[in-house]
Structure 1
């Protein structure tokens, strides 16, 4: 085999598995956090990462720094694949066992909380890159003490208060209904968003109070302030300080604004915009994450190598034919 033909064959064979691997891995581009009831990380971001107003958010920044708040929509495990209890130990639920967000795991009764009551409730999940998957929202059991570390046994895992599969994103939110049971005082809602097109999952803790009780305890009698979600202006203003990127394509440029193609095509124009350039998304370089750029690039390289191989082969055949004449 001529040297040029042999080299082209080697390149084609070598690059094709890379392209197939990239295509199989799939990008991590689903991101967000509970918007109503507002999550801890969203609340603290709304207060301002550099100078939070509440004692709890100031303590969270002291424990983990401000970057976690700018990365408010990136509390995730890239290869969770439904193994939430296996991957997240007790006491680390709100951070999803991610040290960047460890300040959110602080056990205290004065986390800002949303006032709720038993009965039907409309949940709103702030999404910054839509994807298919299932939401499950769990409520803490009666007797929950917010001044103690949150464990899996504190949640009523057998009776989620809301379950929604593939809700439609509108105006930057997934909206779905659930039912809150009878509770009193300070409680916590734990949301798990498990993607169906990837093993990636997202997590959030939302502090709530039932019946107007602010949730103070004997060990921490200070009433919890009311929670409030960040505005669109706040989200946009903090984008350039985030270490996660727009639309979650996994490259290293936090300014990327390309949409996740399949999802964007299925959304109305205003919803595509809401999931677009003004939001910060996925953790860059996440485990099990491959960017669309990488996939396309690998596929292009493989295709190019195949074309090169074919071209060299044709020249070799033609050259042989001419020599035969």
Structure 2
């Protein structure tokens, strides 16, 4: 092969790959935080427990405007998280349960909210602080029993957004 042909092939290959390289790092900019224990729906997707779409690769990215009450945070890319018909595994828990958030980008925190059946059962003040890599909260689930869906919300202090996670539990 001639030197000019090899050079042309190398340049053409580089041009073909360049858009992919430019796009891949951009997804990590959306990395932030999710409930890792008990396993949230997005954590179950990432672990391959439930078959899901792109959330499998970025469980920390369920971000949307503050004030929503959906598992997907209103993000159409992650709509499968709102599907109660999927085979989500429910963690066996007591009436007081500890939830652990895992953060990949730590934003200053307004607060954390926990909802069961649409009713807010806990608010934990974030004091405008940047959290450590993991944070755990012990939450009283409000006297419910049986299978429940807990919505956990991480409200960011310096933006209009929050991060959302739903956790399926079986309260003993």
TM-score by length of 1: 0.40
The answer to whether structure 1 residue 73 and structure 2 residue 56 are counterparts is no
Query: Rg larger in 1 or in 2?
Result: 1
In the TM superposition, what whole-angstrom CA distance separates every residue of 1:25-48 from its partner, at most 9, and x where no partner exists? xxx87711012222101111112x
Corresponding residue for 2:108? 132
Identify, as 1 or 2, the structure richer in helix. 1
Q: Is the 8 A contact 1:191 1:204 kept in 2?
A: yes
Q: Is the 8 A contact 1:162 1:178 kept in 2?
A: no
Change beyond 3 A, Cα 1:30–1:45:
closer
Corresponding residue for 2:77? 100
Q: Is the 8 A contact 2:30 2:61 kept in 1?
A: no
Equivalents in 2 of 1:131, 1:207: separation in Å?
26
How many residues align? The count is: 142
Q: Note the aligned Cα RMSD (angstroms).
A: 2.3
Corresponding residue for 2:17? none
Equivalents in 2 of 1:188, 1:102: separation in Å?
16
Q: Give the CA deviation at 1:200.
A: 2.0
Gaps of 5+ in 1: 1-27, 48-52, 141-154, 212-325
Q: Is the 8 A contact 1:163 1:178 kept in 2?
A: no
Classify the secondary structure of the residue corresponding to 2:138.
strand
Change beyond 3 A, Cα 1:137–1:128:
same
In the TM superposition, what whole-angstrom CA distance separates every residue of 1:37-93 from its partner, at most 9, and x where no partner exists? 22101111112xxxxx4xxx22xx3xxx3x22102111112xx2x4x24xx6xxxx1
Change beyond 3 A, Cα 1:139–1:97:
same
Equivalents in 2 of 1:41, 1:29: separation in Å?
15
Q: Is the 8 A contact 1:192 1:203 kept in 2?
A: yes
Equivalents in 1 of 2:134, 2:30: separation in Å?
15
* Pairing partner for 1:165 from 113, 120, 126: 126
Gaps of 5+ in 2: 1-28
Q: Give the CA deviation at 1:109.
A: 7.0
The answer to whether structure 1 residue 34 and structure 2 residue 35 are counterparts is yes
Q: Is the 8 A contact 1:138 1:189 kept in 2?
A: yes
Corresponding residue for 1:156? 119
TM-score by length of 2: 0.72
